[in-house]
Structure 1
Amino acid sequence: MKKHMLPLYSAAALLLASTLAVAQPADLVRKAQAGDAQAQLDLGQMYVEGRGVAQNDEKAAQWFGLAAAQGNALSQSNLGLMYDQGRGVAKNDVEAVKWYRLSAAQGEANGQFNLGVMYEDGRGVEQSDQEAIKWYRLAAAQNLLDAQYNLGLMYVSGRGVEQSDKEAAKWFGITAAKGHDSGQVNLAVMYATGRGVPLNEKEAARLLGLAAEQGNATAQVNLGTMFEEGRGVKRSLSQAYFWYALAAAQDLEDTESLRDEAAQKLKPAERAALDKKISAWKPKTTNR
């Protein structure tokens, strides 16, 4: 495979509300103003997403802050992320770490994961792969996919742990089975190269297909390569062009040349039909 064999992924977790708000905004406001921490969390989440209210990061941060001050663990993680990203508040890594740590100490998986990211990156704290691993493990034990995925990356690179392709493949496999597209890509790489698992190009192509259908550009270009070379799948220039074109549409580096080279080998009518399919294509969504 030609591109992006082991893409790194180490970003803060998404803002996640513990429960989706079902009340009308006015009802939530009344509860939130009365000091209901769950209502404050839900209202903050609504402002983050612009769901039922006009999107407003400043108001989101204010409501997360009120709930966080009452000890609401998920609000603490969300407030930390607002400081982490400078959304609604001035960006402040030290303040982000403060709130992540309070959340993590209560066992909140998102707070644990985000704190791990800060240690891995050395933002707001002294860089420590060992501390990153510690917090990733705690979050992974609660089945947080991004934490499980990051553990796989740490084992691939041997950061904070003894390097182990077998352990990396285990963690990528856990996330891949749950629909994590980057986990699927990296596990595919392991199968395509025989790292940590038996060499199996058919399984590699299958996993790339799952991630490509979700819109993962790295998976799309690698799947295109599998089709172009007939590795794990029946050789198909039309399928190679299809996946190269989708990856190129996302501006993935070097994919335009791969797309154009494949296009030159197709008949005009075949390419026109494929371009029509490409224009209508939409990624599949998962429940993760």
Structure 2
Amino acid sequence: MDASWFLEGALKGNDKAQYHLGICYAEGLGVEKSYKRAAGWFSKSARQGHVKATYELALCYRYGDGVSKSYTKCRRLLQSASRKGSLPALEDLAVAHLKGKLGLEPNASAAVPLLIKAADRGSKRAMTWVGLMYAEGRYGMLQDDEKAEWYLLRSAREYKEGSQVGKEIRAGARALFKLAQRFAEGRGVKQNYEKAIDWYSRASIKGYSPAFYELGMCYIKGLGHGLDQSDSAAVEWYARASEEGHAKAQFKLGLFYLKGRSMPKDEFMATEWFMEAAEQGDPDAQVK
């Protein structure tokens, strides 16, 4: 994509060309990067109703890119874009109400309907939020296992193939992990260790340390079809979780070193891991 491709159309008032020219200036594609010019072209396009340009202009006002920062203008543009079908704008508004961003006070009653609307439109992030809210009965939501499973399962399916964006990876992994927990504990679903292990494994692929720990526990207990009890496999998962700072895994790993279970006995390493876990507040490690 090059700015020269869009300049003629933009000058003639074509909203799509104006939007793409704004992107070129924002990213320095074929022109010298200029947030001011980007915002100017986004503004021209947005005035003609271009949804993506409206959202991009909202971001300009949010971060002060090429314009004076203004949360009021940002919110107004996000509302306009969301009414026209922009899912990112709807997500941003929901999170702003939920967490008290963009000059707003935290307001769960305003955020929840927006999150549900975003989830129903296909937002992976919103599916995860809504599923967790139903699962945990948070933000004024009544705890509802069936609805929690429905949203988390949808979210997990969307995330199965894996996003490359850090925040999305963690959000997706958390959804996968929560779904695994429900199958492991039989909360709202029929208890099924094989499905639990499958979803824990999917979460582990995304580097989610709680999933490492739970897989270690599964190997200790020998849960699931085809998953035999294995101390050595458990140690591997505990070690991975420990390196990521998981306190319970650090304590478990310390016990293996202390007892020489599935590894050479090493009291020094045991103490090191107990101290790591204790520093993070693990109650079992603190009494060792």
Deviations 1:109-154 (A, max 9, x none): 2222221111112333343323212212222222122122221122
Query: Does residue 120 of the first structure (1) align with residue 113 of the second (2)?
Result: no
C-alpha change, 1:39 and 1:220, in structure 2 (3 Å) is farther
Partner of 2:4: 26
Q: Distance in 2 between matches of 1:42 and 1:142?
A: 25
Tell me if structure 1 keeps the 8 A contact 2:239–2:250.
no
Query: Does residue 235 of the first structure (1) align with residue 229 of the second (2)?
Result: yes
C-alpha change, 1:209 and 1:44, in structure 2 (3 Å) is farther
- Structure with more relative contact order (C-alpha pairs < 8 Å, separation 6 or more): 1
Tell me which protein shows more helix as a share of its residues. 2
Length-normalised TM-score, structure 1: 0.67
Q: Distance in 1 between matches of 2:210 and 2:25?
A: 32
Tell me if structure 2 keeps the 8 A contact 1:166–1:195.
no
Tell me if structure 2 keeps the 8 A contact 1:130–1:161.
no
Superposed displacement of residue 194, structure 1: 2.2
Q: What percent identity do the matched residue pairs reach?
A: 26
SS at structure 2 position matched to 1:102: helix
SS at structure 2 position matched to 1:196: coil
In the TM superposition, 1:116-155 aligns within 5 A as 116-123=94-101, 124-155=103-134
Superposed displacement of residue 78, structure 1: 3.8
Superposed displacement of residue 158, structure 1: 3.9
* Number of residue-to-residue matches in the alignment: 244
1:152 aligned partner, one-letter code: G
Deviations 1:228-253 (A, max 9, x none): 4434443334433444444455x444
Superposed displacement of residue 33, structure 1: 5.4
Work out which of the residue numbers 35, 42, 65 in structure 2 matches 1:58: 35
Superposed displacement of residue 37, structure 1: 3.3
Q: Distance in 2 between matches of 1:86 and 1:229?
A: 54
Length-normalised TM-score, structure 2: 0.67
Superposed displacement of residue 181, structure 1: 3.0
Deviations 1:249-280 (A, max 9, x none): 5x444377268548844558xxxxxxxxxxxx
Partner of 1:177: 157
SS at structure 2 position matched to 1:110: helix
SS at structure 2 position matched to 1:112: helix
Partner of 1:272: none
Partner of 1:257: 250
Tell me if structure 2 keeps the 8 A contact 1:165–1:196.
yes
Superposed displacement of residue 168, structure 1: 1.0
Q: Distance in 1 between matches of 2:112 and 2:248?
A: 34
Work out which of the residue numbers 202, 206, 214 in structure 2 matches 1:222: 214
Q: Distance in 2 between matches of 1:131 and 1:40?
A: 34
Work out which of the residue numbers 74, 88, 96 in structure 1 matches 2:52: 74
Tell me if structure 2 keeps the 8 A contact 1:240–1:262.
no
Deviations 1:73-96 (A, max 9, x none): 233334434555666767654443
Q: Distance in 2 between matches of 1:148 and 1:133?
A: 11
C-alpha change, 1:25 and 1:220, in structure 2 (3 Å) is farther
1:190 aligned partner, one-letter code: R
Tell me if structure 1 keeps the 8 A contact 2:210–2:246.
no
C-alpha change, 1:83 and 1:253, in structure 2 (3 Å) is farther
1:71 aligned partner, one-letter code: G
Partner of 2:145: 165
SS at structure 2 position matched to 1:199: coil
Partner of 1:275: none
SS at structure 2 position matched to 1:163: coil
